[in-house]
Amino acid sequence: MAMAAVVRSTVRLGPVYTVRIPRARRLCASTQPGKGVVKPLDGIRVLDLTRVLAGPFASMILGDLGAEVIKVEKPGSGDDTRSWGPPFVGKESTYFLSINRNKKSIAVNLKDPKGAKLILELAEVCDILMENYLPGKLGQMGLGYKDVQKVAPRLIYCSISGYGQTGPMSLSPGYDSIASAVSGMMHITGPEDGEPVRPGVAMTDLATGLYTHGAIMAGLLQRQKTGRGLHIDCNLLSSQVACLTHIAANYLNVGKEAKRWGTAHESIVPYQGFKTQDGYIVVAAGNNKQFAQVCEVLNLRCLSGDPKFKTNMLRVQNRKELLTILAEKFSEKSTGEWLGKFVGTGVPCGPINNIQRVFSDPQVSHNNLILKMDHPTAGKIAVPGPAVWYSDFKSNMPTPPPLIGQHTVQVLRDLLGYRDDTIQQLLKAGTVSQNEVQ
């Protein structure tokens, strides 16, 4: 669909000055035959007020898909993760660098009424607004969904919170580890006879980011059908509980409480890690044929015909006896030797790699999972690349994560039509800030 004509209107920022602001509204970016590389979200603009991980992870994916992402940060300190370290590359946190490519940064003081009004004006020229403030907080600044809907009725407004926009826990702050605990994820993670364990990365935040990315894409399609925007409610608790899948179904249908299994699987045996002479190997025998192949490789052919182990149900019932036999056998050779013996058998298996080995793996390299960029202050950096690749376009030419307020002046001038003297007044008042690197 064609982009709507630009409409100019006068907006008062205070008693001293008046500026002219272009307002461009549009539906989802239309097909552009004849152009070179076209990405799905070319022409879509995202106003990203999120911080830390779930929201920035989602907006990074949108940026990979071609969206223009404008990251709003607090002047001075910026996103919380900018200070999360060590390690740092120069003065830049590797945590922040890992999830903020393909974004512009503007530094705006939302506590200043002029700053809040500036965000409202930007919402009018954007397709998507993302935020992860405590429910009701932005409403106090005049930036809640109902406030924004009045001036931008076609905006997709996506809220991310710990527990949802409503309900008994909605006003509780939410971090990944807390939501992981409350949702039951931490209860089922860890050694069988040990304490609950936090997953090695913030899986609840990351799952929420993936849900958020998908929800925003659905919101754009919904807007294309209805011509209206909508409010999306994403939260850590719902994302993680939804991801409990069969563990949740076990309880909801037959009242079966979950427990921790370490690397093992509750319902499949053998399906876990085994210690070798020099490390660990994970073997997953998902059916009887694969179990027979495991026995063949281990030179334990008698086990596949043993009445106690002939079916998966029997193997689950006699788990301890079987695993004791297998563990003893796996300890006799190195991980590499066992992997070599499993080649061609059809049995899923792999080593438990440390991170150095992950990024030395030829398949990781083949899948373009190391993305290199030139950062304006940190120099050459590398981050995990996109997990999904497409036949019609590539995401291999990203812009590096921005500095705090690197694009403030550019955005005010190009998107809102602010004059230089107006921008200087906002800078002088501390309403916005501009990084020395532009």
Indicate which residues carry an active-site annotation. 205
b/e 3-26 (16+ beta carbons within 10 angstroms → b): eeeeeeeeeebeeeeebebebebb
CA distance 173 to 162: 6
Place of tokens 């990781």: 364
Name beta bridge partners: 283.
272, 349
Measured CA to CA in angstroms, residue 241 lies from 60, 168, 181, 428 at distances of 24, 17, 11, 47
Q: How many CB atoms lie within 10 A of CB 85?
A: 14
Place of tokens 């008042």: 429
Nearest CA to 353 out of 344, 362, 366 is that of: 362
CA distance 60 to 37: 19
**DSSP letter, residue 134:** P
Torsion angle in degrees (nearest 10) through CA of 88, 101, 398, 211: 130
Please confirm whether the linkage preceding 86 is cis (ω < 30° from 0): yes
Give the helix/strand (H/E) hosting 373: strand 370-375
CA distance 193 to 262: 9
Q: Which residue blocks in 65-202 are alpha helix, DSSP H?
A: 94-98, 113-124, 137-140, 145-151, 176-182
Q: Which amino acid is at 28?
A: C
Q: What is the DSSP string of 182-226?
A: HTTTTTT-S-TTS-----SS-HHHHHHHHHHHHHHHHHHHHHHHH
The tokens for 314 are 């029997």
